[in-house]
Amino acid sequence: MTRVHILHAGYCMAPEHIAIQGGAWRSIHFPAMFALIEHPHLGSMLFDTGYSYRFFEETKTFPNRLYRWMTPVTLREADLAVNQLSAFNHRPQDISRVFISHFHADHIAALADFDRARFVYLPQAYKNVRFARGLGAVSKAFMPGLIPSDFDERSAPVDVTKPIHLPGEYAPFQKGYDLLGEESIIAVELPGHAVGQMGLFVRAENDQLLFFVADAAWLKRAIVKNRPPHKITDLLFDDGKIYRDTLSELHTYHSRRPDVEIVPSHCEETITQYVRATEAHP
């Protein structure tokens, strides 16, 4: 049975009232979540990677420095994805795939640490940033220096010409992509925040279904209450209206399937609760 460990590599700080309407006027932690997915037959995989020290190297100078000014990052040696894997008896070379939700720096900063992994993503996501440089890249929260030199050779983009029809238990999501060929990991498009953003349904042990929604919402409370972020965040999104449409779909899904663990990538409360639950029932 597939086992899932929800971890995070570093965090940034931002005002809560920006992340969710009606939020407090205080800064809160936004952890850079990544997940270790241990498949019984296909090996160990990651969903995103969180931050790495390369992020600090890439943001030393202008214009990338703007990114660090806007989202101050804290990262300890022990937080690095490669170091956390050792607690699960894994080495970086044991990771067979990295599922990339989207190409914002806090989701891809450690790609280069996994030199044997295949990179799985929606093709339009990489196409949108591939040739972005300078301020154009910063405006997409993308840093070309975080992309491994052999990225193209190790890429395995999702074949979007072969969608599957999702059964009613996934409604209102109707179309997905079977990433492993046995429906234990299904990708869906979650547009609005970034072009080609990909979420994952993962069928874990005890038939638990987890839904990794990346940045389609920053806080789970936003999904539960259908409360989008402050309108100023439209300046950061690919399309603010589509973002709110996606959030509404997530709210509908949660209303229908409250038993499914929905995991936004930056919700400290969700990550903490999941870790506590798994520690209590290993």
The reply to whether the predicted model has a pTM over 0.95 is: yes
pLDDT above 60 (res 96): yes
Confidence tier at 278 by pLDDT (50, 70, 90): confident
pLDDT above 60 (res 282): no
Torsion sign (Cα): 130, 132, 134, 138? negative
Confidence tier at 93 by pLDDT (50, 70, 90): very high
pLDDT above 60 (res 18): yes
Extents of the domains making up the chain: 3-280
Fold of 3-280: Metallo-beta-lactamase; Chain A (3.60.15)
Q: What are phi and psi of 81, to 5 degrees?
A: -55, -45
Average pLDDT, the chain: 95
Confidence tier at 280 by pLDDT (50, 70, 90): low
Token readout for 277 is 């639950």
Please tell me the predicted confidence (pLDDT) of residue 279.
63
Q: How many residues appear in the chain?
A: 282
Residues 36 and 44: beta-carbon distance below 8 Å: yes
Please tell me the predicted confidence (pLDDT) of residue 179.
98
109-160 pLDDT, tens digit per residue, is: 999 999 999 999 999 999 999 999 999 999 999 999 999 999 999 999 999 9
Mean pLDDT for the stretch of residues 164-187: 96
Angle, CA 147 vertex, CA 117 and CA 77 arms, to 5°: 75
Tokens 């589509």, residue located: 242
